[in-house]
Amino acid sequence: MKKIRKALISVSNKNNLKKLLSTLSKYKIEFISSGGTFKEIKKLKFNCTEISKYTGSPEILGGRVKTLHPKIYGGILNKRNNKSHKKDLLKNNFSEIDLVIANFYPFEKILTTTNNHSKIIENIDIGGPTMVRAAAKNYYDVTVITNPNQYDDLIKELNLYKGRTSFNFREKLSEEAFSETAYYDSIISKYFNKFTKKKFPKKKTIPMNLIEILRYGENPHQESAIYSTQKSLNLKQIHGKKLSYNNYNDIFSALIISKSLPKNTGTVIVKHTNPCGVSALRDQLNSYQSALACDPISAYGAIVSCNYRIKKKLAIELNKIFLEVVIANGFEKDALKILKRKKKLRLIDANNLNTSNLSNFTSNFNSILIQSPDLNKFTIKDLKVVSKKKPTSDQLNNLIFAFNVCRYVKSNAIVIANNKSTLGIGSGQPSRLDSCKIAIEKMNKFQPDSFMNSVAASDAFFPFVDGIETLVQSGISAIIQPYGSIKDKEIIKFANQTNTVLVFSKTRHFRH
């Protein structure tokens, strides 16, 4: 237990001070402060010593140097049970500072309001983090408050222990203090990396905000939480059971496809992070039904992502099967009412989610693989027709659709499509030929009459003729694939022999 006698207060966020100061006063705690905080404390009618008076050193450089003084740091950093420290204090006429209440210049916030580099730099707090770090280091004796949301806990603690704080409380606050300073400098560092276009600095820290602790991870014996590099996720859950780790994982797998589809168009059905049906048809009911037709069995318990605002007609249709999550760019009022009849069904509004500023990373053992995302939409200018037979406009559109879906299916990936809807999806196979067979089997099982004019896409080149051969034998009339195999010529020859349209894409799109 440590009695608090003197508090140093320097806060950028001046909310909720009054109640705290009242409690501190109750326990006869003296205040030291400066600048705006000093004025605020006086305005609230509490006694307060100005720092420059306390240290005998004037505030200089327009406030850039206020608290950086040995009297302040001697007061914070001295070990109370250390005789030599005590002697140093006496000799220099310094006294103990037992409580530091500080929060920093709003560097992160300023980034959202200006691009002016000088203004941004001016918001790098020097004094604040130093006070907090010193107090947090010396938490055996000193209490440190770094966020207004800790005020209530401090008030409770002081009332409970009559102006004292407990060791455990100070330790917790110290942990939170270093979490604040680490986060603060990580945001500054991230800003500088971006400003100087440094993509891969030698030392990198990723600052993240806890969104929620999840019930468990991919499996019940794994602990889990979801964080964001922003303050919130930009996903709004408006109904249903709590989202699980696997829900989130599937939601993101679905949204990366939805956001790649034409604006306000397209339906994606995802199960185990792979799509089991995608359609980019304009009419929302048609689009959903076509996506569902690709694999109506796997769709049981799936996640449906609608890249549009859901209307009543579709809501009725969606309610006919068991779904875990429905995502949309908003819901019409009457649609929402219908969907909400299913108490557990999770409804997500993803209208505000954007795909800017992304960087992907994944951890393995103690390593982290970081890469820029694979987001550029694939269009007609990214492909080259290499067969004698040229694609019809319909085929071309379906080839582009199929390839855009294929890049978001786990490799090796094959997508068969027609009428801007998938007919078969082969995912996650070590062998490309096997992915072809899986896609064909889906088509033959659920939509056996649709192969006419259907097209296929492959996320990477065919290493042999066998894959393309299998597709053509099943009735596929046009194929798109990246180039680069030593068998490219043979493959083109085979396409010409079988009167198949063959299109090469310039880019490969592995995704694992």
Closer CB to a copy of itself, residue 171 or residue 283?
171
How many whole angstroms separate alpha carbon 229 and alpha carbon 246?
20
Range 438-467, binding a copy of itself (CB under 8 A): 438
Does the footprint of a copy of itself cover residue 200 (CB under 8 A)?
Answer: yes
- Which CB sits closer to a copy of itself, 159 or 222? 222
272 counts as binding a copy of itself under rule CB under 8 A: yes
Beta strands 302-306 and 267-271, pairing class: antiparallel
Catalytic hit among 14, 236, 272, 493:
272
Asked whether the CA dihedral 174, 178, 179, 184 is positive or negative, the reply is positive
Question: Is 78 in contact with 88 (CB distance < 8 Å)?
Answer: yes
For the chain, the distance separating the N- and C-terminal CA atoms, rounded to the nearest angstrom, is: 54
Task: Return the range that interacts with a copy of itself (CB under 8 A); candidates 118-126, 310-318, 335-343, 388-396.
Answer: 118-126
Q: For residue 304, give both structure tokens.
A: 């449906």
Task: Establish if 512 lies at the interface with a copy of itself (CB under 8 A).
Answer: yes
Q: Are 339 and 315 in contact (CB under 8 A)?
A: yes
CB 305 within 8 A of CB 284: no
Give the whole-angstrom CA distance, residue 415 versus residue 399: 10
Q: Which of 49, 95, 166, 189 binds a copy of itself (CB under 8 A)?
A: 189
493 is catalytic: no
CA dist., res. 305 & res. 337, Å (int) = 18
Min CB(363)–a copy of itself separation in Å: 5
Q: Among the candidate windows 131-139, 153-161, 260-268, 332-340, which touches a copy of itself by CB under 8 A?
A: 131-139
Under rule CB under 8 A, residue 170 binds a copy of itself: no
* Interaction between residue 211 and a copy of itself (CB under 8 A): yes
Q: By CB under 8 A, is residue 152 in contact with a copy of itself?
A: no
Q: Which of 45, 83, 202, 381 binds a copy of itself (CB under 8 A)?
A: 202
Candidate ranges 30-38, 228-236, 336-344, 395-403; the one touching a copy of itself (CB under 8 A): 228-236
- Give the one residue of 19, 26, 109, 199 binding a copy of itself; rule: CB under 8 A: 199
Does position 90 interact with a copy of itself (CB under 8 A)? The reply is no
Q: Give the list of residues 6+ apart from residue 336 with CB closer than 8 angstroms, or none.
A: 238, 239, 310, 315, 347
Q: For residues 92 and 71, what is the distance between their CA atoms, to the nearest angstrom?
A: 8
Total residues contacting a copy of itself by CB under 8 A comes to 136
- Please report, as a single letter, which amino acid is at residue 64: R
Q: Which of 6, 14, 137, 239 is catalytic?
A: 137
Shortest separation between residue 310's beta carbon and a copy of itself, angstroms: 21
Ramachandran region, residue 328 (left: φ > 0; alpha: ψ -120 to 50; beta: rest): beta
178 binds a copy of itself (CB under 8 A): yes
Site string for a copy of itself, 62-81 (x = CB under 8 A): x-xx--xxx-xxx--xxx--
Q: Among positive and negative, which fits the CA dihedral 349, 354, 355, 359?
A: negative
Regarding 206 and contact with a copy of itself (CB under 8 A), the answer is yes
Per-residue CA distances from 441 to 225, 294, 365, 416, 422 (Å): 38, 11, 37, 11, 13
Instruction: Pick between residue 55 and residue 395 the one whose CB is nearest to a copy of itself.
Output: 55
According to CB under 8 A, which residues from 293 to 322 bind a copy of itself? 295, 297-298, 302
Contacting range for a copy of itself; rule: CB under 8 A; set: 3-11, 96-104, 310-318, 427-435: 427-435
* Residue 62 φ/ψ region, left for φ over 0, alpha for ψ in the -120 to 50 degree band, beta for the rest: left
Q: Does residue 272 have an active-site annotation?
A: yes
- 176 touches a copy of itself (CB under 8 A): yes
Which is nearer to a copy of itself, 76 or 158 (by Cβ)? 76
Chain-centroid distance, C-alpha 271: 21
Q: Which residue in the set 35, 106, 148, 217 belongs to the binding site for a copy of itself (CB under 8 A)?
A: 217
Taking the CB of residue 224, how many other CB atoms lie within 10 A of it?
A: 16
446 in Cβ contact with 454 (< 8 Å): no
CA dihedral 100, 101, 107, 108 (to 10 degrees): 120
Which CB atom, from 338 or from 410, has the smaller least distance to a copy of itself? Answer: 410
Stretch that binds a copy of itself, among 1-9, 38-46, 352-360, 386-394 (CB under 8 A): 352-360
Residues in the chain: 512
28 belongs to the binding site for a copy of itself (CB under 8 A): no
**Sole binder of a copy of itself in the list 207, 312, 342, 487 (CB under 8 A):** 207
d(CA 325, CA 238): 11
Contact residue for a copy of itself among 1, 60, 160, 380 (CB under 8 A):
60
In contact, 68 and 126? CB cutoff 8 Å: yes
Complex with a copy of itself: residue 240 or 482, whichever CB lies closer: 482
Catalytic annotation, residues = 137, 272
